[in-house]
Amino acid sequence: MTSSHGGKKMWCVGELDDEYISKMEDVLKIYENPLSEREPVVCVDEKPVVLHKDTRPSIPMQPGQVARRDYEYERCGTANVFCGIEPKAGIHFTKVTPTRASPEFADFILEIAAHYPAADTIHLVMDNLSTHTRKALVDRFGEAAGGWLWDRFTVHYTPKHGSWLNQAEIEIGIFSRQCLGKRRIGDISTLRCQAKAWNCRTNRDKIKIQWKFTRKLARQKLNYSFKRSRH
């Protein structure tokens, strides 16, 4: 089964259960909220990146001839990129880390919270990964500080097999095309520099996501009733 939003077709589950519908309704309801400085909505996700470097120098562009890159490359390990976006405000968060382990996730969440010091709560949309928990923050910052940080957020988990509901997936697609492209990046320092430059550009331009898949459309397309989602 597929559904459509933002002009793109995305896969969803073939059979909807009550838990899936309940979580989907919750996420879509948050997306329908108006832009608010007091209750911003931020979507987050991670992207693994394979690091490659050229083994031979590229041939620069010359008159009548395009630039050429040798097909040989050396694999230099992997990295992780945390991507976040406040879709209606066009505010972007990007953090490059060696892995997506709990401490690194906690540091990313701290950076998001620091951006909204006056917010009453920050609505956080993410998948239910084992690291996406209060425990990750408590283990990193201690019970008092970690618990206080977690309580700054109202968490909305996407349903299992429902990652297409997370607008951070669209953000990752934009990042992949505009920042990574088809070029080779051989080390994490270069990746950090490129990601930082891209993040500055997108925040300067306030690139937003126009999300069009509403609860009403979900009920029509997926053929379920609102009453069912409340059980």
Q: How many domains are there within the chain?
A: 1
pTM over cut 0.95: no
pLDDT at 110: 98
Q: Does residue 105 lie in a domain region? A: yes
pLDDT at 64: 59
Q: Does residue 122 lie in a domain region? A: yes
Looking at residue 153, its amino acid is F
Q: Does residue 133 lie in a domain region? A: yes
For the chain, which ranges sit under pLDDT 70? Answer: 1-15, 54-62, 64-73, 76, 226-231
Q: Is 4 helix (H, G, I), strand (E, B) or coil?
A: strand
pLDDT at 225: 81
pLDDT at 12: 52
Distance CA 229, CA 24 (A): 9
Distance CA 36, CA 85 (A): 14
Instruction: Give the structural domain span for 103.
Output: 17-53+72-222
Distance CA 172, CA 138 (A): 27
CATH code of the domain containing 127: 3.30.420.10
